[in-house]
Amino acid sequence: MEYVRLGDSGLKVSRISLGCWIFGSANPQYGKPGKVSPEDSIRIIDRALGLGINFIDNANRYTGGEAEEILGRAIKGRRSEVVVATKVRGRMGPGPNDEGLSRAHIMREVENSLRRLGTDYIDLYQAHSVDWDTPLEETLRAFDDLVTQGKVRYIGCSNFPAWVLTKSLWISDVNKLAKFVSLQPIYSLVSREVEKELQPLCVDQGIGMILYSPLGGGVLTGKYESGTPQGSRGADEPDLLERRLHPFERGLGVLKEIANNLGKTPAQVALNWVIHRPAVSSAIIGASRVEQLEENAGAVGWRLSPDDEKRLDDAFRIPG
């Protein structure tokens, strides 16, 4: 495994990280259902650590808290080996203060995450998305207090537009508060919106990007080439194939050709391409089976040639 600094921070994270979104049972109240049993999830986390993956992403909301509990069980006794990232923002109950980035909600939810994770600190605490109903300064002061208290070591954000991230950095700067060291955006060959504004901002400000859905939810593995496998993400979410597969058929052909020439898999080539984009620290992969994780971990330790990188860049550009 390769390790790099998370942005300009001193924290070293693996180039491939593991996401916990699908760990636990289905719970429609909390967005997308989990699909991997606790036992299998723990097996996947164990294998990830064995492969040298030290960075694991979670959220208070994933499977209603079950995903954090599963991670807590999996890392019991080896907490210090793992960089634990989790998030706050999503709705956790019916009340007016059961969601958001207010001081009230953050202070309550950090305790809930710590309890579920079975730890007394979170390495990277992230704002899951913007809360338009809370002043940014309130959120940043609450996060800064958590850093001072030692409950949180670094802070990051996810799904922030460039101007909100810029404003956050400015507020931290002028008030001498802990600043976001990372941004978690969606980014892959089939989701490249981040390249317009957020990526140049992260390069300029030394923010490490940790990417979600770096395989486009699985479409970049080539698994949908001859139909939709039963039980796959595409079977659960036909919309995924409409948005991320069908518009990119030419690109997927080029991806497969490059992978064949190199003796790699399409997933490994797609991940290798994205982890080498500017400002990218790590790609958070999802894996519903240990074999997927093992394949994806093979995306590091080598680099595509500049020619192949350019071919992929061109082949996945939608005209206009």
Ligand X SMILES: NC(=O)c1ccc[n+]([C@@H]2O[C@H](COP(=O)([O-])OP(=O)(O)OC[C@H]3O[C@@H](n4cnc5c(N)ncnc54)[C@H](OP(=O)(O)O)[C@@H]3O)[C@@H](O)[C@H]2O)c1
Are the C-beta atoms of 68 and 114 separated by less than 8 Å? no
Binding mask 156-195 for ligand X (x = CB under 6 A): --xx------------------------x-----------
Measure CA 316 to chain center: 21
Angular region, 89: left φ>0, alpha ψ -120 to 50, beta rest? left
- Report if residue 217 touches ligand X, rule: CB under 6 A: yes
- Report if residue 233 touches ligand X, rule: CB under 6 A: yes
C-beta closer to ligand X: residue 149 or 302: 302
User: By CB neighbour count within 10 A (0-12 exposed, 13-18 middle, 19+ buried), where does 189 fall?
Assistant: buried
Compute the C-alpha angle 6/9/14, nearest 5°: 25
**Interacting residues with ligand X between 236 and 255 (CB under 6 A):** none
- Report if residue 284 touches ligand X, rule: CB under 6 A: yes
- Report if residue 208 touches ligand X, rule: CB under 6 A: no
Q: Closest by alpha carbon to 16, among 298, 320, 208?
A: 298
Q: Which stretch binds ligand X (CB under 6 A): 138-146, 149-157, 190-198, 281-289?
A: 281-289
Which listed residue (3, 30, 62, 212) is catalytic?
62
- Report if residue 295 touches ligand X, rule: CB under 6 A: yes
Helices (H) then strands (E): counts for the chain: 12, 10
Give the burial string for 277-294 (b: 16+ CB within 10 Å, else e).
bebbbbbbbbbbebebbe
- Report if residue 292 touches ligand X, rule: CB under 6 A: yes
- Report if residue 228 touches ligand X, rule: CB under 6 A: no
Query: In the chain, which ranges are continuous DSSP H helix?
Result: 38-50, 66-74, 103-117, 136-149, 162-175, 198-205, 233-236, 238-244, 249-262, 266-275, 290-297, 306-315
- Report if residue 113 touches ligand X, rule: CB under 6 A: no
C-beta closer to ligand X: residue 27 or 159: 159
- Report if residue 127 touches ligand X, rule: CB under 6 A: no
CA–CA gap between residue 86 and residue 125 (Å, rounded): 5
- Report if residue 15 touches ligand X, rule: CB under 6 A: no
Q: Which stretch binds ligand X (CB under 6 A): 20-28, 76-84, 95-103, 239-247?
A: 20-28
User: By CB neighbour count within 10 A (0-12 exposed, 13-18 middle, 19+ buried), where does 87 fall?
Assistant: buried
Are the C-beta atoms of 179 and 155 separated by less than 8 Å? yes
Q: In whole angstroms, how close is the CB of 174 to ligand X at the nearest point? A: 27
State the number of binding residues for ligand X (CB under 6 A). Answer: 28
C-beta closer to ligand X: residue 145 or 312: 312
C-beta closer to ligand X: residue 151 or 223: 223
Would you state the structure tokens that stand for residue 194, as one six-digit string? 């981040």
Is 62 in the active site? yes
- Report if residue 285 touches ligand X, rule: CB under 6 A: yes
| Binding residue (CB under 6 A) for ligand X from 136, 140, 255, 267 | 267
Q: Return residues touching ligand X (CB under 6 A).
A: 19-22, 57, 158-159, 184, 212-218, 221, 223, 232-233, 267, 284-288, 292, 295-296
Residues annotated as catalytic (active site), given as ranges: 62
